[in-house]
Structure 1
Amino acid sequence: MPSPSSIHEQLTDILVRVVDCRADAVVPSAALAELGTDSLTIVEVGEELGRRFGVRLSDAAIDSVVTVQDAIDAVVAQSAADRPTRTTTALASPPPPPARPAGASRARKTSYVATFVFFGLVIGGVLGLGGAALVSATGISKVDLPPIGGTPTPTATTPEPAEETTPAPASPTADPKPTINTSSEQVSPGERFLLSGAFPGSSDGEDLQVEVKDGGSGAAWDDFPIQTQVRDGGIFRTELYTSRTGERQFRVTNKATGESTPSITVTIG
């Protein structure tokens, strides 16, 4: 189970990245709202904190988090609840069946064999008398039967040629490309907005860098001071804000593969 100090350290790192607050301000008694979180970022902070410690914080647990200490206590409580309880139960072996006397078993087998032989002789005699009477009644004095064990002559057959089929060529399928969306295409300076999307085929935990470009097509992409990670099978979501006005292009790049999403334009002001 993680210690409160390790949870506090990771929570400080997450808050600095997400809301750009000072690390020394993240003390146990500090209110998360005063550090810069809102209803959207508190969900992102809770999910990222749970991912780092291998637990899943419920919506109710995240909604009840008010201070830094509340977030630490929520992770400790969920880690304790997720620990499996192992109980070993001893199973008693069933008693062996009682042994039967060897003499009784041999006597029973002998009785079965004698009964079988007796009924076999009776049935054989009845069938023999009945067959003789049938032959006598029909006047058949000789019956020619085919020899036992004869092998029938096989009839030669010509196999039909199998039709040759040409497999249909498989239609190529394009690999899915990264996607990006924004919660708003126009915001006021300093107003927060979301970037979300997906990197199909990427592994959870891969680092993603938000990039920004100002100006025309010849301008270069610069790193925006926000990083996030791939999670839940390839998706990402992060919140950012900027006070610089004008049209700004944003994209997200996977640092492990170098693959980038298409660019999306957000007008500031």
Structure 2
Amino acid sequence: MMSKSSRLWLIAAGLMLAAGLACSLSTGVTPTPDATTNPQPVQTLPPVAMVTSSASTPTVATATATIGPTPTPTGDGPGGCILKSTFIADVTIPDNTVLAAGTAFAKTWRVKNDGTCTWENYQLVFADGNQFSGPGAANVGLTPPGSTTDISINLTAPAAPGNYTGRWRLRATNGVIFGGFTAVIVVPATPTPTATSTPPPAPTASVGVWNGKWISNCGAPDCGTVRLTQTGNVVTGTFSGGGTLNGVVIDNRLTGTWQRGGAAGSIDWWMGGTGVKWRGNYNGTEG
């Protein structure tokens, strides 16, 4: 009968023999590939980018507006300046002034230069309407921007009655026309003359021989009566006792001088209310 240790040695030897046979079989046999089996290519996937979120807040760029230079306005005037005029007032002959036919007048406008051009060698030119016998153009005084000037032109009212309007404008040195001003006048119809009552003239001595009595207080001498003769407005007279009288009649008053008996003096008489008797002063004394 085998002992226990002998049995353990035999088991170990058997295991070692089995392991050696297994190794020989695995190295000596080459496997035959399957004729029906084709190797398939392996698809390689592209790498996937992984997005990693950041806890920080992204910075936003702020656009900054850049202000360029203000463009300079370009006008129609010489060199690109701006032409602009503003009417201020009618200095003479306001619109709708009534003038007699054929009346000569000077029309004056007050105007402000509200542009950027200096009015130098500019002109006022007729545009349309009635020219009122005026010139086609008139010079305008030197007017810087922002200042005012008075522009005048000599005109004549039309001969026929009616309402008339004429228009004038300004002309720059480059020929550009701008602005505008008017002249409006009224020529009335000739009125029909109306009859007026003429008061009767004051009584005067009639032309020709006039016989009247001068009541005189010439003192102690008896002046007597005076025979008067009127020719036109000249009156002559003779005293009954000798002497002469010369005077002039204006309306109902007679003034003049007298000579009688070597003496002389003055008279200032007027016709009485009845028109048949002179009364007045003789040498300043009422007679």
Larger Rg: 2
TM-score with structure 2 setting the length: 0.28
Tell me which protein shows more strand as a share of its residues.
2
Tell me which protein shows more helix as a share of its residues.
1
